[in-house]
Amino acid sequence: MHRRTAQCIADLRLDILRNRAPSSLQCQRRNRSGTTASKKHSREKRAPERPQAQIQKADPAKLAAHWSRILLNAAAEGEDRPGWTRIPGRAREEAQLSAQVVGRFGGTEAIIAPVRQEHQVFMGPADEDGEVEVSEDYKNKYFRPGAFVVLRRNSQEVHGVVLERYTVRAVEMATSLTATGNVLVHYVEDVTHAVPDFIDTALAARCGTEDIPETKIAHSARVTVLKLIRQMKKALEGAQASVGRKMPSLHALLKSPEPDGWSEFTLDEAIKLVPKSPKCRDPVHAMAVHLALLNRASEFQIASTYEAPPMRFYARPQQHVDILEELSDMVRTMNEENNPIQRFASKAHKLIVASRKRSIASWTEPPTAQPMDHAIFDSTDLTILKFLRMCVRKVRKIQPDPFVIGLSAIIRQLGLYSDVAMDRGAEVILQELGILSPWESVEGEPRGMRIDYERTKGKDDQTLPLVKPKDLIAAPSSTATASEPMGPDDLYTSDPLESVRHDFGDLPVYVIDDAGAKELDDGLSVEPLPSEPGRAWVHCHIADPTSVLPPTHWIAAQARDRVFTTYHVTRTNPLLGELPQLPDLSLGAVSARGKPEPVMTFSFKTDMQGNMLDYKVRAGLVRNVKRISYDEVDHALNFQAVRPFFPFGEPDQPKTGLQSRPSVSEGDKQNLLLLQAVTDGLFEYARRSGVFLVNTGQVSVSTPSECPPSPRDMTTPVEFSGFPAVSYRVENFAVFTQGSRRIVSECMKAAGRVASRFGKERDIPLLRRSQGEPFGPSDEALEQLLDVRDERMMVTFTDMVRTGVAPATGRYMLEPARHWFVGAAADEGYVRVTSPLRRYHDLVAHWQIKHALLPSCPTFSRKFMEEEILKEVDHRAKTHMKAEKEHTFNWALRIIQRWQMDPRFARKPREFDPLENLTGEVQEIPKFSSYRGCSVLKVYVNELGFHGSVLNLRRRDTEYIIGETLPLRMERLELARASECVFTER
């Protein structure tokens, strides 16, 4: 091909599209710059001339596309054409790059197919369970225009350069120029690795973001960028080859010394351990190591399933690596006689068939468990069972799955499942074998089932994050405890703040919560000010576990490892479960026996407009604690609370001691009315500050039944029967902004603001939660959203999608910062202090504040807060919250599946089936799913309280409107496939 073909193409397209005839003189001059065809060849095979009239009538755009297609096909396919001479080297490369830049439309299938595939993969729904987030720090530092990026989505990888970042309907997007010459629109979360400042931002801007470059400048810029991308890919290939030879030794360096222990490490730590080739640049070496860690999934596992890009990894235990190798050997010899998988399948087949019969026969019975009287599985079978247990985990699809081949082979050999590629096949097999109970919480994390890693760690556990003396602020030498460091077994023998506690006497303390709630850690008191009409003091009394638990104790380290109390449907894993005094720390437990109980009290003085006029933080004693339920408070205030919705029937309410108590006294009622007036003022203050709340539905699942646990010995299965009675409840968030729930919520938010003010005045390093103002495409969009707020400050999720407004990302820091949602100003800040029985970081805040009240109390140094607590809090908190959300969602799916599979209605349908009469709000326009091979519509299903996908659409994609309500029915739920609900239009 001629070396100037690329420029000819650009001129031809631009000139004709501008309705100007291309300059034949210029084309002839360019053709004469090199030999384009032999004279003899051109004389013998001269194409017939086209009639002049036909040329004049031709559409300029069609004419440009016609000649561009001819030239670009030759450039892209490299085939010999009459009248053209092949020129190798740089000129040919430029021509091919030019073809990639402008030849995607009207080109050959060789050009179009990869581009079409990129668009379908990266703009289609992600084949992931859960949301993925990119930190603001990473986006601002690395993911900027001009960065070289590796993108992965739905098991596909693309390399490119970021041209721009923007937000569409509250979703962060980016436009990148890929190695195929395609201008790809994709989600920011798809970034797997980024090299900042790969090209100048000015060059990125010159490329433009149109599908086809509209100017010569844009065309030339894209060709230049594609050259640089090719050079980077070539350098990356060399670095990957070099790194690949050194990776086998990396696992040995990073793995845990314990055969079954996991070790966590960062990408930076791994990069330092892999020697760099002398010719390899640091950014390329780092990218090669990163991709190698992702690709070697049999040895390394992404540590977080919601972070993008993945910067933390686990090194698999050597025992797990060995099991994977053993299963691979078994799969390779599947056709041999007496293969271990065949022997296992013959035993398992009988157990599964019996389990299915037992499940149907005991469908309506309570849960029971009968262990078998002898072992069924031998040591070889145990290897397969361990492998199946390892398969139950949560992963990112950007990493290869080292379990899929072995799991498919086992499922195929069992012959009891129609699909050998079940996403949750291992979970189903283990439950039907009796290794896991049918009601077990089988939520996965990257290491495996969460229940395997929620076990209690003893004080001698090497992985327990114990606090060392160097992590604490030394007590003043004048105090009695200065020379008495406390060890990991030492609890306080007496209350360290006993001498400074404020006694609140007989002031009523109202502990308002659900009737059956445990771990009661907050109560409220109110004192009107007769001398200042319209003003009052509100005291938020918080349970005080730090009165017995120092930060150096191993139970405190255990709490740090757990982060939160974990609430499962069938069991609870308390944050401080090993603390002997835990039963007495719940508010009201000690005072019920006539004794004062210690609290941390956060008080604020306010007027009825919600202005905080003064505050106090004290260690206190309370004596008159009154436990009262939300419903009792609402009844006393004559407030008609919004009832939750039970799509599958409302359960019988459990009886509690609260129901037999006398009604609220007149004095208590007056105090509650004053609290209501105060919190209404705080609520209106937030409204004036521009706060809005999103009225999303929340699903909760509960059961009063005690359920037998799963067996510890996998060689001896258990015959499980029956199933617990469960309730499926859907509540809108608006419930928490009214009546008694508003009183508690607003006071607890105010307590967090008080704690931050106290820490700021005394220069205490406190862990503060911040969140900026929501962002959107314009100020008008935000104003539009504020205008649709109802009297409860509520907007719908659909309102946010329609206006394009999105909440800002929350983050933790040590200095005061704005928290828009709770109404905390930038110079005030917000600290969580109201749940120390359930949240570890509330304990941390209490230890820090107590040191300010009495310096002899041990507390964390600023360095420890910055280098340890601050770095881990976001990851640990988000991991816990997402796991709890996943647990509830999995149970919701389990209830729905049992409703659909109920054998009592196998032949006789129900008179009314809620799953056949659903409604869904359209959340976004349909997207083509390469996984499903059709367009998928995302909806929020009102009656079920979660999102789902609508298939088999009846209209064109463009005819669906965001916010419209569709009548839906739910398709048969297959839990073994994936955690996704599919609906069709009624």
Q: What is the pLDDT of residues 860-919, one digit of tens each?
A: 999 999 989 998 888 888 888 888 888 898 899 999 999 999 999 988 888 889 999 999
SS (HEC) of 274-318: CCCCCCCCHHHHHHHHHHHHHHCCCCEEECCCCEECCCEEEECCH
Phi, psi at 437, each rounded to 5°: -75, 155
H or E element that contains 628: strand 624-629
Sign of CA dihedral 755, 757, 758, 763: positive
Return the closest-CA partner of residue 5 out of 56, 82, 79, 70.
70
Average of per-residue pLDDT values in the chain:
84
Give me 688's structure tokens: 């004036």
Provide the CA 436 distance to its chain's centre, in angstroms: 26
**Per-residue pLDDT, 906:** 86
- The β-bridge partners of 939 are 922, 948
- Which residues touch 585 (CB under 8 Å, ≥6 apart)? 543, 544, 545, 548, 576, 579, 837
Whether the CB-CB separation of 768 and 865 falls below 8 Å is answered with no
Provide the CA 969 distance to its chain's centre, in angstroms: 28
Residue 626: strand, helix, or coil = strand
Provide the CA 673 distance to its chain's centre, in angstroms: 40
**Per-residue pLDDT, 473:** 82
- Cα separation, 111 vs 299, whole angstroms: 37
Return the closest-CA partner of residue 816 out of 772, 769, 850.
769
**Per-residue pLDDT, 298:** 94
State which residues of the chain have pLDDT below 50. Answer: 1-7, 9-57, 76-79, 104-113, 478-483, 657-660
- Which residues touch 329 (CB under 8 Å, ≥6 apart)? none
Give me 983's structure tokens: 């609906």
- Cα separation, 232 vs 28, whole angstroms: 36
**Per-residue pLDDT, 465:** 82
Which residue type is seen at 781?
A: A
Query: Which residues in 43-65 are b (16+ Cβ under 10 Å) and which e?
Result: eeeeeeeeeeeeeeeeeeeeebb
**Per-residue pLDDT, 171:** 77
Domains and CATH numbers, the chain: 95-100+111-316 (no CATH), 318-433 (no CATH), 491-641+666-709+731-751 (no CATH), 904-985 (2.40.50)
Q: How do 982-985 and 965-970 pair as beta strands?
A: antiparallel
Whether the CB-CB separation of 311 and 252 falls below 8 Å is answered with no
Phi, psi at 940, each rounded to 5°: -105, 120
**Per-residue pLDDT, 151:** 93
Whether the CB-CB separation of 738 and 379 falls below 8 Å is answered with no
Q: How do 934-941 and 927-929 pair as beta strands?
A: antiparallel
Q: How do 697-702 and 535-543 pair as beta strands?
A: unpaired
- Which residues touch 221 (CB under 8 Å, ≥6 apart)? 203, 206, 207, 208, 213
pTM (predicted TM-score): 0.83
Whether the CB-CB separation of 520 and 627 falls below 8 Å is answered with yes
Question: Helices 90-102 and 60-77 sit at what angle, rounded to 10 degrees?
Answer: 140
Whether the CB-CB separation of 672 and 919 falls below 8 Å is answered with no
Whether the CB-CB separation of 434 and 718 falls below 8 Å is answered with yes
Q: How do 156-168 and 148-153 pair as beta strands?
A: antiparallel
- Cα separation, 425 vs 419, whole angstroms: 9
Whether the CB-CB separation of 316 and 252 falls below 8 Å is answered with no
Return the closest-CA partner of residue 448 out of 701, 307, 708, 261.
261
Residue with tokens 């646990």, as numbered in its chain: 709
- Cα separation, 456 vs 830, whole angstroms: 32
